[in-house]
Amino acid sequence: MVQPTSLASLEAGFEREARLDEPFVVLTVAASLIATLGLLADSPAVVIGAMLIAPWILPLRSASFAIVEGRLPLVGRALLTLAAGVAITMALSAGLGWLARLPVLGDEVLRRTTPNLLDLGIALVAGSIATYGRLRPEAVSSIAGTAIAVALVPPVCVLGLLLSIQQWGPARGAALLFAANLLGILSGGLLTLVVSQASLRQQLWRSRIGLVSLLLTGLLLIPLTGSFLSLVKQAQRRQALQQVERAITESLRKRTITLGKDSELTGVSIDWNQNPPLIKAAVSVSRPNLPTSKQVAVVQDFINKQQGFNFRLLVQRVSIDVIGPEAAPNPEPVSVEEGVPKAQPARSPQLASITADQPQADNKPPLADN
């Protein structure tokens, strides 16, 4: 349990963290440039480095404290500091995006355009730990990990990049992620303060701003839940695709008599927008008449029975030619059993000509030259 800390000491610390001073601006500029360049280069390591130096967690936890106490001037200073940081980051990222003009952005950008409930949960925990680190100075080392976990600067950088190339839909997703992180940190900080400081518990319920913050965080559950359900559905589809691919492979290899080793499954895709879902399987075959329509129907029935769900299967067969010369088999050695001698190894033509001129031990006529 966190030991109570004097309110005077907390107020002094949070007042310092809410200031818009030179260190905050310098660190914001550096974090914005590093994060934007890392996103353009699609480098996770560079983006993580930007998270480490971003100072935005400080005014946010200061705002949490001010909200609980109902100190509107301190809330305004903290949010103004944060707004200045957001404006700087937006301008820098949009400018770099306009200069780079990449036609396609990488996965590091796309990952920050589809937030869900998991992101809100991360922000809540991060806000709690950030505030705990302020209450307990010995836990200050947790701030670096918190900055990485909550990732406030990268979503704003993504927003600036997407706006620079007029990608409005993904830009809304990045803005939603930033809002989830922002409100999650505020709410996590509020809850940590009221749990750890008994003198602040009653003040939270009297603070209208605190209740509004918690209410806005609750409203985020609506769009984030939809995104989370979509994420679950995508995971289920990936699992179904893997199961179907295994079923097709097993059916082609083991369940059909004529395919067997004459076929190779090269790719599988499923179109879930059709009813029933359409499976397209690409198969390389050395016999151009395989698989037959009957065999495809057998495979389709096998898949539907295995999955308990109806699919339609289409097989795209690509015929391959197998080319190679014929070769005579090597003689197999005969084991010595019951006095039967082993087969003699093959002799070279030179050895055959030498032995042809010598008498044989059993007085048989010499071998004739070929």
> Tell me: the pLDDT tens digits for 162-203?
999 889 989 998 998 898 888 888 888 888 887 776 666 666
Q: Give the number of other Cβ atoms within 10 Å of residue 126's Cβ.
A: 27
Residues 89, 304: Cα–Cα separation, whole Å: 52
Q: Buried b / exposed e across 164-197, counting CB within 10 Å, b at 16+?
A: bbebeebbebbbbbbbbbbbbbbbbbbbbbbebb
Residue owning tokens 């440039």: 33
Section 265-286 average pLDDT:
81
Residues 119, 123: Cα–Cα separation, whole Å: 6
Q: Give the number of other Cβ atoms within 10 Å of residue 5's Cβ.
A: 15
Of 134-148, 238-252, 307-321, 335-349, the poorest mean pLDDT is in 335-349
pLDDT above 70: percentage of residues in the chain:
74
pLDDT of res. 27: 92
Q: β-strand 278-285 against 312-319: which pairing, if any?
A: parallel
Of 13-27, 82-96, 254-268, the poorest mean pLDDT is in 254-268
Q: Give the number of other Cβ atoms within 10 Å of residue 224's Cβ.
A: 21
In the structure, what pLDDT confidence band is assigned to residue 208 with cuts at 50, 70 and 90?
low
Q: Order of strands across the sheet with 312-319?
A: 263-271, 278-285, 312-319
* Dihedral sign of CA atoms 40, 43, 48, 50 in order: negative
**236/78: higher pLDDT:** 78
pLDDT > 50? residue 2? no
In the structure, what pLDDT confidence band is assigned to residue 54 with cuts at 50, 70 and 90?
confident
pLDDT > 60? residue 245? yes
**Per-residue DSSP letters for 168-179?**
HHHHHHHHHHHH
Q: Are 48 and 154 in contact (CB under 8 A)?
A: no
pLDDT of res. 368: 40
Q: Are 188 and 124 in contact (CB under 8 A)?
A: yes
CA distances in angstroms from 114 to 119, 148, 220, 226, 319, listed in the order given: 10, 18, 13, 10, 42
Residues 112, 157: Cα–Cα separation, whole Å: 10
Q: Are 127 and 189 in contact (CB under 8 A)?
A: yes
Section 62-74 average pLDDT:
83
pLDDT of res. 28: 93
pLDDT > 70? residue 266? yes
pLDDT of res. 200: 65
Amino acid at 38: G
pLDDT of res. 352: 42
Alpha helices by DSSP H, listed for 251-322, are: 293-307
pLDDT > 70? residue 1? no
User: In this predicted model, what pLDDT tens digit does every residue of 308-359 receive, in sequence order?
Assistant: 788 888 888 887 777 778 888 888 876 555 555 555 554 544 434 434 444 4
Give the up-direction half-sphere exposure of residue 54: CA atoms within 13 A in the CB hemisphere.
33
Section 115-133 average pLDDT:
82
Mean pLDDT of the chain: 76
What's this model's pTM, rounded to 2 decimal places? 0.62
pLDDT of res. 32: 93
The H-or-E segment that residue 132 falls in is helix 117-135
**275/206: higher pLDDT:** 275
Residues 153, 93: Cα–Cα separation, whole Å: 10
Phi, psi of 278 (to 5 degrees): -100, 120
**53/344: higher pLDDT:** 53
**86/234: higher pLDDT:** 86
Q: Give the number of other Cβ atoms within 10 Å of residue 363's Cβ.
A: 6
Residues 291, 263: Cα–Cα separation, whole Å: 9
Phi, psi of 319 (to 5 degrees): -80, 135
Q: Are 224 and 116 in contact (CB under 8 A)?
A: yes
Q: Give the number of other Cβ atoms within 10 Å of residue 144's Cβ.
A: 13
Count helices and strands in the chain by DSSP H and E runs: 15, 3
Q: Are 304 and 311 in contact (CB under 8 A)?
A: yes
Q: Are 197 and 65 in contact (CB under 8 A)?
A: no
In the structure, what pLDDT confidence band is assigned to residue 232 with cuts at 50, 70 and 90?
confident
Section 232-255 average pLDDT:
72
In the structure, what pLDDT confidence band is assigned to residue 101 with cuts at 50, 70 and 90?
confident
pLDDT of res. 82: 92
pLDDT of res. 241: 74
* Dihedral sign of CA atoms 197, 198, 202, 205 in order: positive
pLDDT of res. 351: 38
Top-confidence range, 13-22, 295-304, 338-347: 13-22
Section 257-265 average pLDDT:
58
